[in-house]
A and B are shown apart, each in its own frame.
Chain A
Amino acid sequence: MMRGAALRRGRIVEHLAAGSSAAGLALCLLLAGGIVLLLVRAGLAPFWPQPVIEYTLRDGRSVLGELMLHRDGALIVRGDEQARPGDGYVRLREAEILAERQPPDAVARVHADGRRSYRLGEAGPDEPDLVGVDRRNALTFAGKLAFFGERLRAYAIGGDRSGDAGQGLLPALAGTLTLVLLMSLIVMPIGVAAAVHLHVYAGRGRIGALVRGAVGSLADVPSIVYGVLGLGLFVHGIGGGIDRWLHADRLPVPTFGTGGLLWAALTLAVLTLPVVVATVEQGLARIPDTQRLGSLALGATRGETLRRLLLPQARPAVLSAWILAVARAVGAVAPLMLVGVVKYAPASPIDAAFPYLHPSRQFTHLGFAVYDQALISPDALVGVPRAYSAALLLVALVLVLNAAAGLVGRRLRDRDRAFPL
């Protein structure tokens, strides 16, 4: 039958359309899940104890160390470091290896200057600068887990001498949090006030529409452009002005006229302002107008209506605006590179010395640590795993913040509204 064939063909076309479009969604899931899994694996791997391997070569030599990389028929093994960390790498071709084994009596040692060395049997001569000794090949799974936890802890809080950790993530995390906190203090009052002005005072007028449109277009301006604004206007313009006025005695050494925490926070505040204004205004607009009119009809002024009736109801929107702003700011690395992020902050922007917060100081940042360790680190075999650790922490931070915003936002939204923007 002609009709039957046409019908069947139509049905198959429908299946094909459903399937190929489902593949797009599947790829999104694969990307999201794959990236998170990759980060978890690559970010945590450096803390898991790698076995110490003894390679016996065809020419009779033997090499003791950790396998760092196996690619294109060659192995890179981290062996004894004599003078400084990173000088003990050995490149072995697969062809020249006769045998390899994991001797249970192998000892991995860490020196006070970060060097590693490996011994068999006894711990070797008791050198004075040894800070850590472990027999990791002999560890049980539970022992390895404890070792992993210990190294992770040491890395997270810094001051770790016995792992691949270097400076640790604590300064970068502290710098990131201080930065977004300072930014929040700037952006939230301004953003909420502006949203209030748009909703309560400007109304549907022409000025309100103008500001709304401008705020919307600001959201699409690339973050690096904000960085240029921060450098040119805040650092050179305002900071330089403050220096000429207050710290003239110290010129030409700049105090405020160079990148620092305050200017970075200001830059991020401008960057996140559109998010805050739009979210808070949406929250205010979601309150039924009858409530506002009801309050006005009872002789309340606009300000009283706002303070007693509208703002308390918009509190979840304000909270979710704050979380979204912080999530956006934590991920914005490019502008920071122009306004004062550094690899190692010579002095932390927060310390015990009065006035405790030093807004003109430079700072470190998790996102910048990712970039810096991956691209600029002198020792890529160590730097890249560190970059992944920082990236894992950064992504965890952003995802937790976004999930929190989602939970807060769900209280506002109808769950089954059509797929919203």
Chain B
Amino acid sequence: MSPELIVALLAAAVHAAAPILFATLGEILSEKAGVLNLGVEGVMALSAFAAFFVCHATGSAPLGLLAGGLAGALLCGLHSLVCQVFLGNQVVSGLALAIFGVGLSDYLGTPYVGQATEGFRQFAVPLLSQLPVLGPVLFRQDAMVYLAYAAPVAVWFLLNRTSLGLGLRATGEMPAAAAAAGLNPQRLRAFGVMAGGFLCGVGGAYLSLAHTHLWTTGLSGGRGWVAVALVIFAFWRPGRAVLGALLFGGVMAFQLRLQAAGTNVPSSLLLMLPYALTVLALVFSASRSRSSARKAAAAPAALGVNIEPED
């Protein structure tokens, strides 16, 4: 492989990693607050359509992005309502959300299949893009990728350096302790789920606004499920989420190039690669979490457990 090819491959990996990173960070926020949201796939699909629709209608990519985020927050608000007000099972509600979101986006999007929209275009950052290797890989991307560089830092800061984040984590670990400290765990959970939904929605918006620039069905393509698995791989840490997202983005970009290069390997096997990697990643994190790093790598203690009303 020539150096140019490698640089192009790396740039494609970063590009492919961005939507997965947004969704993984969103799910981390939700799970840190104690709510398991398996509906990421549906959230991404629906917000991809919302972003496409608004961008298509107004011609404004930032408005489209905002619409995608809001659609994600609203859909996750539904999950929060089911789980926290009606004490529904988080797994069941999440799965329903995944199916509902994908179905609704297909239904609403049918008239628009094949239509294009402007969305976000790539632009080079002055100076930084002149760096060897790093320049073309990191700094000749679109605005949403640059946003993706800031997102993990922002999520980390929120969780670890703000009182809101401390409350969120306490709620995910032991809602009773948060309540005893005078916080409102229900409200904190609702915030975590919806803020997480907003990030997942941004990930979905990326797909229609920066990845394809046109509407097709099945745009989310399993990325939501990968994000759910990546949260475990990342041990619920934003920093490791970056690593995981890049790994997956890399594999996705690599299999596309291989297909384009016309190898003898059947394309269905290549398409399978990212998901095979998902399984491997989960096995890896499960074996890690049995070892010494277990305590730090453990899931939030109250993850998936609804807060029962007192008495």
Partners in one complex: no
